[in-house]
Amino acid sequence: MADIAVKGARVAYEDAARRARVLSGFRLRDKAFHWLTFSAALAVLLILGGVIASLVNGSVPAFRAFGLGFLVTNVWNPVTGHYGALAAVYGTLVTSFIAMMVAVPIGLGVAIFLTELCPDVLRRPIGTAIELLAGVPSIIYGIWGLFVFAPFLQQYVQPGLIDIFAKIPILNALFAGPPYGIGLLTAGLILAIMVLPFVSAVSRDVFETVPPLLKEAGYGMGFTTWEVIRYIVIPYTRVGVLGSVMLGLGRALGETMAVTFVIGNADVIPRSLLAPGTTISAAIANEFTEAVDELYTSSLIELGLILFVITFIVLAISRLMLMRLEKQGG
């Protein structure tokens, strides 16, 4: 009996020791995973901090030379060494605004069609075709815009816009001048095409999360399809829709090559949307290799810092809006 008791105690001890080793292994792996993920998050912050520090450090000579006047000065003259960011900031904001005004309604319309109205046979081909637009390199958009889209606008669209708005105050100034083909409007429309798949794809995925029971309840109460979309689908997914819009806006603000091809690259603030202009990213792409002195290079780096700040402000505003919408939705 004593041998049996000793043997049983030994088995119990070995079993407890085995379980302790297993639990210890679990704890070690859990700690390793914790530190791995923490290191990844910390690396992102360090990289971001390094980018900010590099931009700030590179902008110091330009900031010392021009101060805050760099933001409100409409001059860019490498010969005399006078630089101002106002024209580039203006072009960046205007082209992004045009892009969002065009892409958001179309993108939401496409998403609504694919989730609520499109036949099942066409849903996947149309959705895939739209998503493929996001995979086209930006330089291809730029080449297509310069050699196909801009001549089309110059010959068929811009003359009509000039004639239509010729007698309407304010609009006659926005759509005035010779039809160059290239310019702010062309750049904005190219950006709209590039932003469209982001808005459409994200919105479609968000719309598909609406519980069918909610929509069926709406139809059961006599709602039309438009009323179901307006009173059920959009309110239920408003946070995700806003996120898709902000994602597209972030892409529009930072786009470089496509805009560089079609905006005209003129360092001025044009009165007309049909006239050439420039953006921050286009100015940096065009002139960075030509910057031979410290002040010229520093001015371009400060343009990059301004674009970073604009993007950060847009993301911060979108985050605040999302928090407010989530609070309103409970």
**What CATH number does the domain containing 289 carry?**
1.10.3720.10
User: For the residues 256-263, what does the mean pLDDT come to?
Assistant: 91
Residue 162 shares a structural domain with residue 238:
yes
Last residue of a domain, one of 33, 66, 99: 66
158 shares a domain with 56: no
Domain boundary among 15, 33, 66: 66
pLDDT per residue as tens digits for the range 174-209: 898 888 899 999 999 999 999 999 899 888 888 888
> What angle is formed at CA 310 by the lines to CA 307 and CA 314, rounded to 5 degrees?
140
Model confidence band, residue 328 (pLDDT cutoffs 50, 70, 90):
low
pLDDT at 240: 84
Q: How confident is the model at residue 89 (pLDDT cuts 50, 70, 90)?
A: very high
- Same domain, yes or no, for 131 and 280? yes
**Other CB atoms within 10 Å distance of the CB of residue 299:** 28
In angstroms, the CA 158 to CA 213 distance is: 48
How many helices (H) and strands (E) are present in the chain, helices listed first?
Answer: 16, 2
What confidence score (pLDDT) does residue 321 get?
A: 78
* C-alpha to C-alpha distance for 324 and 330, rounded to whole angstroms: 10
Q: Read off the pLDDT of each residue in 92-109 and give the average, rounded to a whole number.
A: 93
pLDDT of residue 10: 65
Task: Look up residue 267 and give its two tokens.
Answer: 């360092």
Res 93 pLDDT > 80 = yes
How many other C-beta atoms are found inside a 10 Å radius of the C-beta of residue 16?
Answer: 10
- 52 and 76 share one domain: no
Give yes or no: residues 55 and 177 share one domain: no
Distance of alpha carbon 121 from alpha carbon 115, whole angstroms: 13
Closest CA relative to residue 207, chosen from 184, 229, 180, 174: 229
Segment among 83-92, 228-237, 299-308 with least mean pLDDT: 228-237
Domain extent at residue 78 = 69-328
Split into its structural domains, the chain has a count of 2
Same domain, 142 and 283: yes
Residues 287 and 269 in one domain: yes
- Does residue 282 contact residue 256 with C-beta atoms inside 8 Å? yes
Q: Are residues 220 and 322 in the same domain?
A: yes
- pLDDT at position 276, please? 93
Average pLDDT over residues 277-294: 88
Between 39 and 323, whose confidence is greater?
39
pLDDT at 2: 54
Please choose, from the candidates 272, 74, 285, 283, the residue with its C-alpha nearest in 3D space to the C-alpha of residue 180.
272
Q: Are 223 and 99 found together in one domain?
A: yes
Same domain for 44 and 107, yes or no, is no
Same domain for 133 and 270: yes
Residue with tokens 């371009």: 300
Q: What is the pLDDT of residue 5?
A: 58
CA 228 to chain centre: 29
pLDDT, tens digit, 9 for 90 and up, residues 142-173: 999 999 999 999 999 999 999 998 888 888 88
The model carries a pTM of 0.86
- The DSSP bridge partners found for residue 76 are 83
CA atoms of 108 and 184, how far apart (whole Å): 24
The pLDDT value recorded for residue 14 is: 65
Same-domain check for residues 290 and 210: yes
Mean pLDDT, the chain, rounded, equals 87
Per-residue pLDDT band for 16 (boundaries 50, 70, 90) equals: low
Residue 1: pLDDT over 60? no
Neighbours of 50 (CB within 10 A): 10
User: Which tokens sit at 163?
Assistant: 């004639």
Which of 41, 66, 91 is a domain's end point?
A: 66
E strand segments, the chain: 76-77, 82-83
Nearest by Cα to 183 from 150, 161, 160: 150
